[in-house]
Structure 1
Amino acid sequence: MSNKTIDFQKGKVSGKVSLLGAMVGPVEFLLSNNKVVQPFSTAPWANEEKSVNEEKNLIDNLPPILKNIGGEWPCVPFGMPNAKRNLPLEWLHKIDCIEPIDESFMHGFSANHEWQDISNSLQEAELKIEYPLNHPVKRLSRKISVTDNNQLEFELLVETEKPVELPIGLHGTFKLPNKPGKAKLIIDSFKSAYTYPVIVEPNISILEPNQKIDDLEQVLRSDGCFEDMTTLPLENSTEELILLDLSVGRIQLQNHDECYEVVFEWDIEQFPSCLLWYSNKGRDYYPWNKRFQAIGIEPIASAFDLGVIHSRNTFSPLQKAGIKTGFTLDGTDRFSYKISVNTI
């Protein structure tokens, strides 16, 4: 599968969109102090030269979503294709009564296949992708443009033949400084949060699973200590997932090493939660090899990344807590959101 890209440029912003997954990034912003910054994470293995056949086979055999993972892209449906079973009992109640869908790919068909370039201007990128005939989603269309004040503006259209409830999400991944503690998450509308129901990465993850969080700066670890999950990168190599319950769709990521901040804004009625993915050089196997460090800021209507069945389950702990874990798609649904970069 090729890694073809679309280039776009307007004002002080220029970037690329990969046809594979319609992943946006890298994107360069010329800031008011004449400094150029590129805030999105990129996969260190995406453009590696492979001189050994065995290494080439490794990357060829990766799931498509991992081949150049980074930047930002839509996930319809959001999460894993099969229902995870090794969860606490409260997560498994009634899941056998939930109707599955025919989905084979992590974060959906569109995140693992090439989109069609339908752009009409070099100033913006526009793409679409047709879903398989047996899928409840018919088509996705996506436009990435630059506003007059140099924000990235996104529009996603999801078309269905009939109403269907699915977990959906936006997958933003952002780079972090090398030195621990040189970046800060600012979440003004924080209500509460939840750690993943089980350990994310066995023998690697440090947080106590299946806990409710009242303060993101004091999150219980499995060793009984507490971790500040807003000050990044973390000291420990780890992989973590935290679901945020918010009242406003807005998160800031300040990079004090490069003196800029990213502001991610979305409609809280469409994406009532946000999944934070802490990839802190925790995975020691290919292709990660302890070299991927990023923070995922992922607005969602989903039960973590647990997929369709867990997200549809009205008996899940999140739904019992009043957290919406799916979105009813009906005809053509439009989702708009923005990412801006400013000096600090």
Structure 2
Amino acid sequence: MDRITITAKGISVSVDLAVGHLADLVVEAGGRGLRPLHRAPWLDEPPGDLPQGLPEGVARLSGDFLCAPFSASDVEAAPLHGWPANSPWDVVESAAVADGWRAVFRLRRKVMGAAVEKTLRLRHGHPFLYQEHAFVGGSGAISVAHHPMTVMREGGRLSFSPKRLAATPEISLEPDPKRGRFALAYPARSADLAAFPTAGGGTTDLRDYAMEPSREDFVTLVEADHAGPGWTAVARRAERDLVLVLKNPAELPVTMLWTSNGGRDYAPWNGRHRGVLGIEDGRTAIGHAASLDDNWLKREGVATAFALAPDGRVAFRHVIGALPQADGPPPASVAMLPDRLRLETPDGAVREVPFDGTFLRIGKA
């Protein structure tokens, strides 16, 4: 069994057990099925057509997955984004509960000596997937990130919880013009998301996902100090919906945006991986060794790894959902109430939807 699907009223999620990716998420709303998550185009092609040596996590790229570590596994040998994104998971438990469904998965491999568990919760009538990852035991420290990807046929508009700053790394994802291209300046930083430096010397609005130019870009947003959840909202134009991703900033203090819009010309990307946005909430720098060493985020007072202990348990939570939205901007504010999520648009219109306001444990690290 390579795939399992769990369901509650109005929502279902499928897991690719070969790599632990969330292969599909479907929210039934407004008479249609909203699919907020992306799957790579090469998943529908014969596996033999893929380049040799491609990490399993890229070969089966879909939805969302746990990165542990995020990016380079240069402390403990593993593929890009670590074994949780590239190797099999077992089903420990999957059963209906009073208010929905609960499933628990365990990674067959260990990470830094720790057992890794994934718990998924669906609640009847909630348009959200609630997930928790836990490291049980182990030693040293591990950087982590979620890797949800959405996709847009005609672009969209983004909004965020308050951010302190945005910054690009020293080198772009595709510095060789023979292999790809980028649009942002590297390195660069700005406290204004609406005016981030570009490679051409101007500025761009990070809140706007435009389908031109073709590019591959990566930028890290650092959460500001505030009392609410960390969140990203994406109003997808052609899809006529609103994708929501939420976190506890004390657990996952950065949000890394990966824009993959036809900016890679080599296989399996081949310029066709378009309109994709990775919303990568994490506790990490770029690479495991960099996360444990001195880095620019630590100098900003931002944690970049979780400490592990042989008798310890480290866990963090994350939420992904979707709502129908015919047109209009994403919310200007998002607030959690005990049993619902309250969204307010820039013009003051309010929308409330069912939500477990206790799940993210805001105020706890």
Q: TM-score range by the shorter chain?
A: 0.7 to 0.9
Find the counterpart in structure 1 of residue 148 from structure 2. Answer: 172
Q: Deviations over 1:149-180 (max 9, x none)?
A: 23211021111234x2221111111111x22x
Contact 2:223 2:254 in 1 (8 A): yes
| Aligned mate of 2:251, from 250, 253, 270 | 270
Matches within 5 A, 1:116-131: 116-121=90-95, 123-131=101-109
Q: Structure 1 unaligned runs (5+)?
A: 51-55, 83-100
Aligned partners of 1:59 and 1:322: how far apart in 2?
A: 41
TM-score scaled to structure 1, two decimals? 0.84
Query: Which residue is 1:155 aligned to?
Result: 132
2:322 corresponding residue in structure 1: 341
Aligned residue number for residue 236 of structure 2: 255
- Alignment of 1:322 with 2:304, yes or no, is no
Find the counterpart in structure 2 of residue 105 from structure 1: 79
Residue pair 2:88, 2:108 contacting (<8 A) in 1 also: no
Contact 2:103 2:121 survives alignment (8 Å): yes
Contiguous gaps of at least 5 residues in structure 2: 326-365
**Could you list the runs of 4 or more consecutive aligned residues of structure 1 that deviate by over 4 angstroms after TM superposition?**
none
SS at match of 2:94: coil
Cα distance per residue 1:279-319 (max 9 Å; x no partner):
1111111000111121000111111xx212111122x2222
- Tell me how far apart the structure 2 counterparts of residues 255 and 76 of structure 1 sit (CA, whole Å): 29
Partner of 1:95: none
Counterpart in the other structure of 1:186: 159
* Aligned residue number for residue 42 of structure 2: 45
Q: Distance in 1 between matches of 2:191 and 2:270?
A: 33
- Pairwise CA RMSD of aligned residues? 1.9
Whole-angstrom CA distance in 2 between matches of 1:190 and 1:308: 24
Alignment of 1:21-40 (within 5 A): 21-31=19-29, 33-40=30-37
Which structure has greater strand proportion?
A: 2
**Paired AA for residue 5 in structure 2:** D
Distance, in Å, in 2 between the alignment partners of 1:12 and 1:29 is: 6
Equivalent in the alignment of 1:301 = 283
Q: For residues 213 and 163 of structure 2, what CA distance do their matches in structure 1 show?
A: 24
Return the alpha-carbon distance in structure 1 between the equivalents of residues 192 and 58 of structure 2: 32
- 1:45 match: secondary structure: helix
Cα deviation for residue 45 of structure 1 reads: 0.3
Q: State the identity as a percent.
A: 22
For 1:256-283, what per-residue CA distance to the aligned partner results, in whole angstroms no more than 9, with x for missing partners? Answer: 2222111111111111111111111111
**Count, aligned residues:** 309
Q: Are 1:226 and 2:207 matched, yes or no?
A: no
| Distance in 1 (alpha carbons) for counterparts of 2:173 and 2:205 | 18
Does the 8 A contact of 2:189 with 2:196 survive in 1? Answer: no
**Matching residue of 2:341:** none
Q: CA deviation at 1:129?
A: 1.2
Shift of 1:46: 0.9
Task: Identify the match of residue 16 of structure 2 among 13, 18, 33.
Answer: 18
